[in-house]
Chains A and B, each alone.
Chain A
Amino acid sequence: MKKKAGPLFYIFLVVFVFFIMFPFLWMLISSVKPLTELFGDKAFTPYTSDPTLKSYISVFVDYPFLRYLWNSAVVSTITTVYTVLVASFAAYAIARLNFRGKTVILGLVLSVTMFPQIATISPIYIFLKNLGLTNSYLGLIIPYTTFTLPLSIWLLVTFFRKIPSDLEEAAKIDGATLMQTYWKVIMPLAVPGMFTTAILVFIAAWNEFLFALTINTEEKYKTVPIGIAMFQGQFTIPWGEIAAATVVVTVPLVIMVLVFQRRIVSGLTSGSVKE
């Protein structure tokens, strides 16, 4: 069905992209509008004659937004590095080694990815509270394992299976031990797959909401999603600042997506498409 695209098709594409991007564009416009133009008649004009960076300055000066960004970065990075490492061993074993109960284990991993977070939160909360780990980085890294580890195993298994087994066999014949084969033969080939997995796991950890909301309630340890969501005050909502903060978190994301789009797509679709 590879057909050439006509001009109508491109018009459709433009409309489609516009629909998807419209909210972001509107946030971008709103973020540079002066406060008075966010309300009343001027709220609906798609431009401003008097652009200002006041909202951006306020986000960083009046709110601990940098702190939120830092917290999110620390938690997501540590979670990603350690889960992908632990998962890579398990995924290698499941994809490559013969032992009993593999299918059952993979089934368990898949079913854990389907666990609703709310069903694990009360014991995890009480556990972390008793250990004094609420309001700490570890307090988020531990519960984030619930969804990042099964996700990583699931993705990595598909990637490992795609690596041709000839090389491994050659290494075995040459007398390499299992660990040598893993580190010297498999790992270099698996790096792209692991990188893709890491991107997806990082995004999942960066976006997590429920655990972050309940476990780290102190301002000092809030992550970006919670921080932005809590911008809403009791009586007024600072829309200018919210718009600016949204732009601040979206821009790096857009860059990342543009750079890594192929990888992300291959990761997203690898578990679901049979080739």
Chain B
Amino acid sequence: MKNGGINGQNDLEVSKKNPQLSKLKKEPKQKKAFSESKAGYLLIAPAMILIFLVAVWPVLQSFYFSLFDLRLNNPTKSEVHLSYNVDLERYLNNYPFLVSAIDNEVREGNAAKELENVKTQLKTIDEKLQKDADVKTKYSAVNDKLMNFEQPGADIRMVEVERDIAEDYLKTTDSVLASLKKVTKETKLSQEDKVIGLAAGLKDSIIKPNFIGLKHYKDNLSETRMWKALGNTMTFTVISVAVELILGLAIALLINKAFFGRGLIRASILIPWAIPTAVSALMWKFLYDGQNGIIAKIFEDVGLVDKMSNLLVTDTGAMFAVIFTDVWKTTPYMSLLILAGLQTIPSSLYEASAIDGAGKWKQFTTITLPLLKSSILVALLFRTLDAFRVFDLIYVLTGGGPANSTETISILAYKVMFSQTNFGEGSALAVIVFLCVAIISMLYIKFLGKDLLNDGRGN
């Protein structure tokens, strides 16, 4: 804007002197503005594409996944299926062998009539399947691959089928399995287990759509474990951020003066912030240890816990331990942010108010706090979101225990996804975390106004 303004002014001056010249000048300027915005889009394009691919798209996909019954350990549910699909590899590994096994039995004269009937049913459904052109091409492609003992590719293995065909298929395979079971009860077949096994395999070749809509959300919202995790997250966030803010503000006010060794203080403030959270969590786990932990012993000596071994095994003890560690790790960081804000307040304000006879407290409430408002809110915003997303600290220090008393919503989502391999439900929990974070940031931004994005140049 600034350079635009300056140029504009020049143009204006020129046009006063010579209207023709200004006309001449205008044209290239417009061209320049055009190429500037083009260059701007070009320069931001790579970053924007990357951000879209690695951050925005996955979040949208998480939401999509959360609408499905998606389980990585279950081959029929390991992908999202909006419609019915036939696993042709599986189908063709069962159907021809079932038909020939039945033929075998018929040849041997075992329950010929019933078996012929079953065979007709199978043939009918096979024809019905192959009526669809897409199914037919993939059917023969997979068949060729299997004949050559090759693995059919993922692109031809699965084929979408219409709902009524799929339902027909399921009905047929059900009745085939039922009649075969009946037959085996009445007459002895020579390859009983094989026939039944193939029929069951045939039935499993169809993959039902695993779209379940908002069921995961409904289930989660009525589950006490989710609410407990959400409550734990809130407790952790509110207490730790509040304590960090008060302590951080106090420390910032105290060290906002000239003294010897500022660099050393700054460095020691930065170290807890810079060390990997997982490492500091493990360190504190050692200090909190029920038998050998020095901090646990100090807590016992000063009466914070009645027995040092209780610290990590009781609900409140564990939550306290987790919050204490977070306060240790991030209060210095908080005080650093607030200190930076403090240093932008001109000291003349304090001098003037001192002349007017304002006391220390009055100065604090009328000058310091109002002028610090935006730095404090920004610090609070980032800290609140960090605390709400807490994962590594708790994962390493308590693992969410004892008895889920420190399990936060991120930990719960992780466990559901990677321990239970239930990606659908886990994604629903992840979306819930995302929505909470969005709500928190919107509330803060409402307080902050547009301060955060404004670049101070009126753009």
Instruction: Give A residues with C-beta under 8 Å from B.
Output: 1-5, 9-10, 12-13, 16-17, 19-21, 23-24, 26-27, 30, 38-40, 43-44, 86-87, 89-90, 92-95, 97-100, 102-103, 105-112, 114-124, 126-127, 142-143, 145-146, 149-150, 153, 157, 161, 165, 169, 178, 203, 206-207, 209-210, 213-214, 224-226, 228-229, 231-232, 237, 239, 242-243, 245-246, 249-250, 253-254, 256-258, 261-262, 264-265, 268-269, 271-275
CB closest chain-A residue, reference B429: A118
* CB-based contact B277/A112 at 8 Å: no
CB closest chain-B residue, reference A147: B55
CA distance A122 to B410 in the complex (A): 12
* CB-based contact B378/A272 at 8 Å: yes
Q: Does B243 contact A (CB under 8 A)?
A: no
CB closest chain-A residue, reference B343: A273
* CB-based contact A273/B414 at 8 Å: no
* CB-based contact B292/A250 at 8 Å: no
In whole Å, how far is B3's beta carbon from the nearest beta carbon of chain A? Answer: 6
> Looking at the complex, which of B116-124, B135-143, B170-178, B257-265 is the stretch in contact with chain A?
B257-265
* CB-based contact A20/B268 at 8 Å: yes
CB closest chain-A residue, reference B64: A123
Question: What are 16 pairs between A and B in contact, CB < 8 Å?
Answer: A5-B259, A13-B255, A43-B291, A86-B46, A89-B44, A118-B410, A118-B413, A118-B433, A119-B62, A120-B58, A123-B57, A209-B392, A249-B275, A257-B270, A258-B267, A265-B270
* CB-based contact A229/B453 at 8 Å: no
CA distance A24 to B270 in the complex (A): 13
* CB-based contact A210/B266 at 8 Å: no
Q: Which residues of B contact A9 (CB under 8 A)?
A: 254, 257, 259
* CB-based contact A146/B54 at 8 Å: yes
Q: Which residues of B contact A265 (CB under 8 A)?
A: 266, 270, 336, 340
Pick from A30, A119, A213, A269 the residue with the most CB of B within 10 Å. A119
Partner of A103, one of B281, B374, B459: B459
Q: Which residues of B contact A246 (CB under 8 A)?
A: 279, 282-283
Q: Which residues of B contact A5 (CB under 8 A)?
A: 257-260
CB closest chain-B residue, reference A45: B294
Partner of A209, one of B267, B391, B457: B391
Q: Please provide the 4 A-B residue pairs with the shortest distance between their CB atoms, ordered closest to farther.
A: A99-B37, A269-B340, A90-B47, A99-B40
Q: Does B236 contact A (CB under 8 A)?
A: no
In the complex with contacts A93-B39, A224-B276, A246-B279, A86-B271 CB distance below 8 A: no
Q: Does B185 contact A (CB under 8 A)?
A: no
CA distance A273 to B451 in the complex (A): 10
* CB-based contact A253/B271 at 8 Å: yes
In the complex with contacts A4-B258, A110-B453, A123-B62 CB distance below 8 A: yes
* CB-based contact A112/B51 at 8 Å: yes
Partner of A115, one of B275, B282, B328, B434: B434
Main secondary structure of the interface of A (DSSP, over half): helix
Pick from A4, A262, A265, A272 the residue with the most CB of B within 10 Å. A272
Main secondary structure of the interface of B (DSSP, over half): helix
* CB-based contact B374/A210 at 8 Å: no
Partner of A274, one of B56, B271, B284, B344: B344
* CB-based contact B459/A89 at 8 Å: no
* CB-based contact B40/A93 at 8 Å: yes
Q: Does B447 contact A (CB under 8 A)?
A: no
Partner of B259, one of A13, A116, A264: A13
Q: Which residues of B contact A242 (CB under 8 A)?
A: 282-283, 286
Over the window 35-69 of chain B, the binary record of Cβ atoms lying under 8 Å from chain A Cβ atoms (1 yes, 0 no) is 11101110110111011001111110110010000
Instruction: Give B residues with C-beta under 8 Å from A.
Output: 1-4, 6, 33, 35-37, 39-41, 43-44, 46-48, 50-51, 54-59, 61-62, 65, 72, 251, 254-261, 263-272, 274-287, 289, 291-292, 294-295, 297, 328, 332-333, 336-337, 340-341, 344, 347, 350, 374-375, 378-379, 382, 385, 388-389, 391-392, 395-396, 410, 413-414, 417-418, 423, 426-427, 429-431, 433-434, 437, 441, 451-453, 455-457, 459
* CB-based contact A109/B51 at 8 Å: yes
* CB-based contact B437/A3 at 8 Å: no
* CB-based contact B256/A1 at 8 Å: yes
CA distance A269 to B456 in the complex (A): 17
14 additional A-B pairs beyond A214-B418, A229-B281, A264-B270, beta carbons within 8 Å, are A13-B259, A94-B40, A97-B39, A98-B37, A99-B36, A118-B430, A119-B430, A122-B58, A124-B54, A209-B277, A210-B391, A249-B279, A261-B263, A274-B375
Q: Which residues of A contact B58 (CB under 8 A)?
A: 119-124, 127, 146
CB closest chain-B residue, reference A87: B47
CB closest chain-A residue, reference B61: A123
Pick from B264, B294, B295, B457 the residue with the most CB of A within 10 Å. B294
Pick from A12, A250, A269 the residue with the most CB of B within 10 Å. A269
In the complex with contacts A97-B40, A118-B389, A118-B433, A20-B269 CB distance below 8 A: yes
Q: Which residues of A contact B285 (CB under 8 A)?
A: 237
* CB-based contact A120/B55 at 8 Å: yes
CA distance A116 to B284 in the complex (A): 25
CA distance A89 to B388 in the complex (A): 32
Partner of A111, one of B4, B333, B441: B441
Q: Which residues of B contact A16 (CB under 8 A)?
A: 251, 265
CA distance A245 to B433 in the complex (A): 33
* CB-based contact B389/A116 at 8 Å: yes
In whole Å, how far is A45's beta carbon from the nearest beta carbon of chain B? Answer: 10
CB closest chain-B residue, reference A129: B72
* CB-based contact A119/B395 at 8 Å: no
In whole Å, how far is B16's beta carbon from the nearest beta carbon of chain A? Answer: 22
